[in-house]
Amino acid sequence: MQEAIQEKYVHVHGLNTHYWEVGEGEPIIFIHGGGAGADGWGNWNHLMPQFAKEGYRVLALDMVGFGSTESPDPQNYEYSNDNRVKHVIAFIGALDLQQVHLVGNSMGGAASLGVAIQRPELVQKIVLLGSAGRHRPKEGEQSKALLTLQDYEYGWDQMHQIVRSLTNDRFEISDDLVNYRLKFTAKPEVMRAYQATMKWVKENGMYYEDEELRSIRHHIMLIHGKNDKVVPAADSWEILNLVDNASLYVLPNCGHWVMLEYPEQFTEATVRFLKTP
């Protein structure tokens, strides 16, 4: 009988933090991306039981301002990459975890890299899917897909457009997927947090300097969709060339959401990587 995924909350630096958990063993933290309506369940629930079967304690948190985690007022909280990194580090501490594997998509990938840079002793291995971390904003160089995310305004058509920009052209978009993500941005506090997050990204980008990435000694597997419209595969090539213990797996006919577009390939490759000594 398959173990049920449990819904939980924990206070992290005063923020009520929502997460999902299943399984026992080495802990893996799955960190979702930063598109409108993103959360831990939507990105990872279909994969969590498979990793639990492989002997892992699987945790998928909602980042600050997303899903059901608290969304503090942007007047009193900066929705920066560094604050997301600090939140993940504090989440690890709040659960009294000694070391974890990190699996991060997009903005969640940037957070994973930040944890490895700031607190390397907390991390075992890292899997990055279409990871942010090499983008500096330049006038006129924002892709149409990235602008779709940054300029989102609440509405079904707008959310459908976001999902389309995040996936390959063959991916079938269900109404359930659009409606699930839409419900979160219907919350005024989540929408305020999202707008503050995107404003910060527009102004600052999500970029780690070469020397910061060179300092990472962990084994990293980069997974990237060849047809990613949001984060170009070239960004993962840059990370690959800067991190000594990095490998890269590129999937054809795949956009930004490897874990949703090709879940079986993602799971097989990730489990093999994590279990390799």
CA pseudo-torsion sign 133, 167, 250, 41 = positive
Candidate list 87, 101, 219, 256, residue with the active-site label: 256
Euclidean distance between CA atoms 196 and 97, whole angstroms? 30
The β-bridge relationship of strands 134-135 and 206-207 is antiparallel
**Among the listed residues 83, 53, 91, the one whose alpha carbon sits nearest the alpha carbon of residue 65:** 83
Query: What angle separates helix 156-166 from helix 175-185, to the nearest 10 degrees?
Result: 120
Candidate list 71, 106, 131, 236, residue with the active-site label: 106
Longest dimension (CA), the chain: 54
**Among the listed residues 83, 110, 101, 75, the one whose alpha carbon sits nearest the alpha carbon of residue 15:** 83
Query: Is 256 assigned a catalytic role?
Result: yes
Q: Which residues contact 156 (CB under 8 A, 6 or more apart)?
A: 178, 179, 182
Euclidean distance between CA atoms 60 and 28, whole angstroms? 8
Euclidean distance between CA atoms 57 and 82, whole angstroms? 26
Query: Is 106 assigned a catalytic role?
Result: yes
Task: Give, for 225, the enclosing helix (H) or strand (E).
Answer: strand 219-225
Euclidean distance between CA atoms 48 and 255, whole angstroms? 21
**What positions carry a catalytic annotation?**
106, 228, 256
